[in-house]
Amino acid sequence: MQQIFNFVIRNKTFLLFLLLFSIALALTIQSHSYHRSKFINSANGLTGGVYGTFNSIDQYFNLKDENTMLSEENKRLREQLFNSVNTSDSTYIDSSYSIGKFRVTTADVFKNSYSLTNNYLTLNKGRNDSIKEDFGVITSKGIIGIIDNTSSNYATALSILNKNSQINAKLKSSNHIGSLTWNGESPEFTQLVDVSTFAPVKVGDTIVTGGQSAIFPKGIGIGTIDSFETDISGDTYNIEVKLFNDMTNVGTVYIIENLDRTEIKALENRVNE
């Protein structure tokens, strides 16, 4: 017993180092799997407050870009409105029809990273604004990521530039689906894998969200096909997708909640059982 105590006292620095290093290592390993640590993330009052203070200064420098983006979106929405074929001249009497399937919230990006292998965004909306895990995050141009952790006033989102990210996507021209992943290299490109070789893939075609996962509505833009190659197995294509969004410059985002999500999840769980 005496010897054990002596050993501990003699090597206390090394043992403390070992302890702290193992804690850090455990947290690191946890962060490399999808369901990450709930303790260490930037969705909390301290980091949110600090980022918020400096974000308000930063916002002034991006006002011009933000304005251009908004007027572009307005233009597109107006075009859709004026050209819409469906001129409805009657309304539903039953009010339950008029409730949409998706609820949209706007949020400011407090922190955005794109140079790491696992990137996250910090947003200024949280549980108090009914934001929960697994809501989709988009801009007017295309998708950004999925909400990962929330605190009462802040949320972190798993960026599509994250090795753990896997998003259901499809070709706009057909219904062939694949999953969107990232290889950790360029913030301008992501990779669409597991697309069947029957799919009519052409360079320049548009990739949109598939709407299979109950996170994103169907048909939100992701990017265009930059190049593609057949997988080693020969059954699937690996497609290099050039993103619509400039992931290095994201100011304001929309958070999408699928109101039918709990119902879909419950149904899927029952199938799995």
Partner 1 sequence: MNNIAARNIIRFITLLLVQVIICNNINFLGYINPYIYIIFIFLFPIRENRLVFLLVSFLLGMLIDMFSDSGGVHAAAAVSLAYARPILLKTSFGMLYEHQSIKFSNTEIGSLITYISFGTVLHHFILFSLEIFNISNILSILQKTLFSSIFTIILSILIIILFSRNQK
Provide the binding-site residues for partner 1, judged by CB under 8 A.
12-14, 16-17, 20-21, 23-32, 36-37, 40-42, 44, 46-47, 50-51, 54, 111, 113-118, 120, 122, 156, 184, 186-187, 248
Q: Is 202 left (phi over 0), alpha (psi -120 to 50) or beta?
A: beta
Nearer to partner 1 (CB atom), residue 120 or residue 228: 120
Nearer to partner 1 (CB atom), residue 57 or residue 271: 57
Nearer to partner 1 (CB atom), residue 171 or residue 250: 250
Alpha-carbon span 190 to 257, nearest angstrom? 24
- Note whether 157 and 145 are within 8 A (CB): yes
Q: How far is the CB of 51 from partner 1 (least distance, A)?
A: 8
Q: How far is the CB of 115 from partner 1 (least distance, A)?
A: 4
**Counting beta carbons within 10 angstroms of the beta carbon of residue 194, is it exposed (0 to 12), middle (13 to 18) or buried (19 or more)?**
middle
| Residues in Cβ contact with 200 at an 8 Å cutoff, skipping those fewer than 6 apart | 171, 173, 174
Q: How far is the CB of 25 from partner 1 (least distance, A)?
A: 6
Nearer to partner 1 (CB atom), residue 187 or residue 223: 187
The helix (H) or strand (E) run that includes residue 149 is: strand 143-150
Nearer to partner 1 (CB atom), residue 150 or residue 156: 156
Alpha-carbon span 197 to 186, nearest angstrom? 25
Nearer to partner 1 (CB atom), residue 16 or residue 77: 16
Please tell me the number of Cα atoms within 13 Å of 237 on its side-chain side. Answer: 23
Q: How far is the CB of 223 from partner 1 (least distance, A)?
A: 18
- Tell me the one-letter amino acid at 162: N
Q: How far is the CB of 233 from partner 1 (least distance, A)?
A: 20
Token pair, residue 135, equals 């809501």
Q: How far is the CB of 267 from partner 1 (least distance, A)?
A: 33
In 3D, which of 164, 159, 129 has the Cα closest to residue 147?
159
Token pair, residue 91, equals 């309304």
